[in-house]
Structure 1
Amino acid sequence: MWVTADGHIRQELRADGRYDEARGSRRSAYTGRYTVTGSHLDYVDDTGFTATGDIRDGVLFHEHLVLHKEDQA
């Protein structure tokens, strides 16, 4: 589980290549699939929207978001 510092956005990257992102009280606000190449992530939302992310020094930079592993937030 990756989470923003304020806990508002929570992103679960599942082992099966699926993700589930909650925003505030809105569970599963975004769902889709992701692939990892090295430290780079490519996301494809179930609606077809695409996004990218990179993990650097244990931090996930996902478009404009900065997320930390939940136990490190």
Structure 2
Amino acid sequence: MTSNDTPHAPHPHVGMWVTADGHIRQELLPNGRYDEARGNRRSAYTGRYTVTGDHIDYVDDTGFTATGDVRDGILYHEHLVLHREDDRRAREGRRGSRG
């Protein structure tokens, strides 16, 4: 069996995005789905998303819609400000290494 489908690299915004306090964690999955945890509540919001450039349109599984924009490596999702999880950890490490 052969296929003409070429695997696509994931969009550059795919991955885990986290608020500064770590309370909200939004994972943009490579399959166009997202999963958002809030505090101890896993999968508090799930749905699909589409990306146009640095703009993200979200449609929650309940039909609720929202938008977001990535600017200078920060995801502004409605009233939330989220950073890549790895970037947040790096900042925390720098703060913890001060003497």
Bucket of the pairwise TM-score, normalised by the shorter protein:
over 0.9
Shift of 1:50: 0.1
Larger radius of gyration between Structure 1 and Structure 2:
2
Instruction: Read off the aligned partner of 1:18 and give its amino acid letter.
Output: R
More relative contact order, 1 or 2 (CA 8 Å, 6+ apart) = 1
Q: Does 1:18 align with 2:33?
A: yes
Structure 2 counterpart of 1:58, from 61, 73, 92:
73
Task: Find runs of 4+ consecutive structure 1 residues off by over 2 angstroms.
Answer: none
Is 1:29 the counterpart of 2:44 in the alignment? yes
Of 40, 56, 62, the residue aligned with 1:41 is 56
Q: Note if 1:3 corresponds to 2:55.
A: no
1:64 Cα shift? 0.1
Unaligned runs of 5+ in 1: none
Q: Which has the higher helix share?
A: 2
CA deviations over 1:44-73 (Å, ceiling 9, x no partner): 000000000000000000000000000111
Q: Secondary structure at the match of 1:55?
A: strand
Q: Name the TM-score, length of structure 1 as normaliser.
A: 0.99
Q: Identical aligned pairs, as a percentage?
A: 84
Please list the CA deviations of residues 31-55 of structure 1 after superposition, one character each: whole Å capped at 9, or x if unmatched: 0000000000000000000000000
| Structure with the higher fraction of residues in strand conformation | 1
